[in-house]
Chains A and B, each alone.
Chain A
Amino acid sequence: MKKAPLASLAALGVLALALSGCGTTDVAAQDTAAPDSVASADCSADDTATSTDPVTLTDDYGRTVELDKPAERVAILEWQQIEDALTLCVTPVAVADAEGYSTWDTAEVLPEGVTDVGTRQEPNLEALFATNPDLVIVEASSADDEIIAQLEAYDVPVLATIGADAADPIAKMLATFDLIAQATGREERAEVVTDEFDAYLADAKGELADADLATTDFIFFDGWVDGGNVAIRPFGQGSLIGEIGEELGLTNAWTGEVDAAYGLGQTDIEGMVAVGDANLLHTGTEAEAEDDFLSSLESNPVWESLPAVTEERVYSFPAGIWTFGGPRSAQQIIDAYVGALSQ
Chain B
Amino acid sequence: MRGAPVEADAATGGRATRLGPVATLVALGILLLAVSLWHLTQGTSGAVFADETVLWGSRIPRLAAGITVGIALGVAGTLLQSLSRNSLASPDTLGVTAGSYLAVTIVTAFGIAVPIWASGTVAFAGGLVGAVIVLGLAGGAASSTTRLVLAGSALAMAFQAGTSTLLILFQEETDGLLAWGSGSLTQLNLDAFLQAAPIVVLVLAIAILMGRRFDVLALGDDTASSLGVPIRSTRAVGILFAVALTAISVTLAGPLGFVGLCAPVLARLLTRVVPGLARHVFLLPASGLIGALVVILSDAVLRALLGAEAAISIPTGVATTLLGAVILVVMARKLRDAGPTREPPQVRFGVRSESRYWTVLALSIVGVIGIVVAGLLLGASLLRTGDVALWLQGDAPPQIAFALSERAPRITAAICAGAALALSGTLIQAVSRNPLADPGILGVTGGAGLGAVIVVTSAVASTAGMIVAAVVGALLAFALVYLLAWRRGLNADRFILIGIGVSYGAVALTTFVLLRANPWDTPKIYTWLSGTTYGRVWEQIIPIAVVLLIALPLAFALRREEDVLALDEDTPRLVGIGLERTRLVLLVTAAVLAALSVTAVGVIGFVGLVAPHAARALVGARHSRVIPVAVLLGALLVGAADTIGRTVIAPEQLPAGLVVALLGAPYFVWLLWRSRDA
Asked if residues A226 and B383 are in contact (CB atoms below 8 Å), the reply is no
Of B52-60, B142-150, B283-291, B435-443, the segment with at least 4 beta carbons within 8 Å of chain A is B52-60
**Contacting residues of chain A (5-24) with chain B, CB-CB under 8 angstroms:** 6-7, 9-10, 12-14, 16-17, 20-24
With A127-B651, A147-B535, A264-B520 as given contacts, are A227 and B120 in contact (CB-CB < 8 Å)? yes
Asked if residues A268 and B116 are in contact (CB atoms below 8 Å), the reply is no
Q: How far is the CA of A147 from the CA of B650 in the complex (A)?
A: 19
In the assembled complex, B234 has its CB within 8 A of some CB on chain A = no
In the assembled complex, B179 has its CB within 8 A of some CB on chain A = yes
Q: What band does the interface of chain A fall in when counting residues whose beta carbon is under 8 Å from B?
A: 35 or more
CB distance from B414 to the nearest CB of A (A): 15
* Contact digits for A94-110, partner B, Cβ 8 Å, 1 yes 0 no: 00000010011000000
User: Across chains A and B, which 6 residue pairs bring their CB atoms closest together, nearest first?
Assistant: A13-B370, A228-B192, A224-B176, A302-B57, A271-B44, A270-B58
Asked if residues B253 and A228 are in contact (CB atoms below 8 Å), the reply is yes
Residues of A within 8 A of B584 (CB): none
CB distance from A138 to the nearest CB of B (A): 12
In the assembled complex, A44 has its CB within 8 A of some CB on chain B = no
- Among B120, B185, B397, B653, which residue has its beta carbon within 8 angstroms of that of A122? B653
In the assembled complex, A214 has its CB within 8 A of some CB on chain B = no
In the assembled complex, A57 has its CB within 8 A of some CB on chain B = no
Asked if residues B180 and A2 are in contact (CB atoms below 8 Å), the reply is no
Asked if residues B53 and A301 are in contact (CB atoms below 8 Å), the reply is yes
Q: How far is the CA of A103 from the CA of B523 in the complex (A)?
A: 18
Q: Write 7 A-B pairs (CB below 8 A) sorted by A numbering.
A: A2-B618, A100-B171, A266-B312, A267-B44, A271-B45, A301-B57, A303-B57
Extra 19 A-B pairs, beta carbons < 8 Å, given A27-B399, A268-B312, A273-B45: A3-B359, A13-B374, A22-B384, A23-B384, A24-B390, A27-B400, A30-B399, A126-B380, A130-B399, A142-B461, A228-B187, A266-B309, A266-B312, A269-B57, A270-B43, A270-B45, A271-B309, A289-B111, A292-B116
Residues of A within 8 A of B373 (CB): 13, 16-17
CB distance from B340 to the nearest CB of A (A): 33
In the assembled complex, A209 has its CB within 8 A of some CB on chain B = no
Asked if residues B383 and A20 are in contact (CB atoms below 8 Å), the reply is yes
In the assembled complex, A212 has its CB within 8 A of some CB on chain B = no
Of B224-232, B403-411, B424-432, B476-484, the segment with at least 4 beta carbons within 8 Å of chain A is B403-411
CB distance from B195 to the nearest CB of A (A): 8
Of A113-121, A237-245, A330-338, the segment with at least 4 beta carbons within 8 Å of chain B is A113-121
CB distance from A120 to the nearest CB of B (A): 8
Asked if residues B188 and A122 are in contact (CB atoms below 8 Å), the reply is no
Residues of B within 8 A of A130 (CB): 380-381, 399, 402-403
With A27-B397, A270-B54 as given contacts, are A225 and B367 in contact (CB-CB < 8 Å)? no
B381 to A, closest residue via Cβ: A130
CB distance from A20 to the nearest CB of B (A): 5
CB distance from B367 to the nearest CB of A (A): 5
In the assembled complex, B571 has its CB within 8 A of some CB on chain A = no
Asked if residues A299 and B370 are in contact (CB atoms below 8 Å), the reply is no
Chain B: residues with CB nearer than 8 A to chain A? 43-46, 50, 53-54, 56-59, 65, 104, 108, 111, 113, 116, 119-120, 123, 168-169, 171-172, 175-177, 179-180, 184-189, 191-193, 196, 250-254, 308-310, 312-313, 359-360, 363-364, 366-367, 369-371, 373-374, 377-387, 389-390, 397-400, 402-403, 405-407, 459, 461-463, 518-521, 523-524, 527, 532, 534-535, 537, 617-618, 636, 640, 646, 650-653
Asked if residues A288 and B192 are in contact (CB atoms below 8 Å), the reply is no
With A273-B54, A303-B57, A305-B57 as given contacts, are A227 and B252 in contact (CB-CB < 8 Å)? yes
In the assembled complex, A197 has its CB within 8 A of some CB on chain B = no
Q: How far is the CA of A304 from the CA of B407 in the complex (A)?
A: 56
CB distance from B201 to the nearest CB of A (A): 17
Chain A: residues with CB nearer than 8 A to chain B? 2-3, 6-7, 9-10, 12-14, 16-17, 20-25, 27, 30, 100, 103-104, 115-119, 121-127, 129-130, 132, 141-142, 144-147, 149-150, 153-154, 223-231, 256-257, 259, 262, 264-271, 273-274, 287-289, 292, 296-297, 299-305
With A118-B653, A119-B523, A270-B58 as given contacts, are A229 and B180 in contact (CB-CB < 8 Å)? yes
CB distance from B107 to the nearest CB of A (A): 9
Interface of A is mostly: mixed
With A119-B653, A142-B461 as given contacts, are A229 and B184 in contact (CB-CB < 8 Å)? yes
Residues of A within 8 A of B168 (CB): 119, 121
Asked if residues B652 and A124 are in contact (CB atoms below 8 Å), the reply is yes
Asked if residues B363 and A7 are in contact (CB atoms below 8 Å), the reply is yes
Asked if residues B176 and A226 are in contact (CB atoms below 8 Å), the reply is yes
Q: How far is the CA of A117 from the CA of B403 in the complex (A)?
A: 13
With A121-B524, A226-B177, A270-B59 as given contacts, are A3 and B374 in contact (CB-CB < 8 Å)? no
Q: How far is the CA of A269 from the CA of B56 in the complex (A)?
A: 12
With A228-B253, A266-B313 as given contacts, are A300 and B188 in contact (CB-CB < 8 Å)? yes
Asked if residues A302 and B54 are in contact (CB atoms below 8 Å), the reply is yes
Asked if residues B520 and A227 are in contact (CB atoms below 8 Å), the reply is no
Residues of A within 8 A of B254 (CB): 226-227, 229
With A121-B524, A127-B650, A153-B537 as given contacts, are A229 and B384 in contact (CB-CB < 8 Å)? no
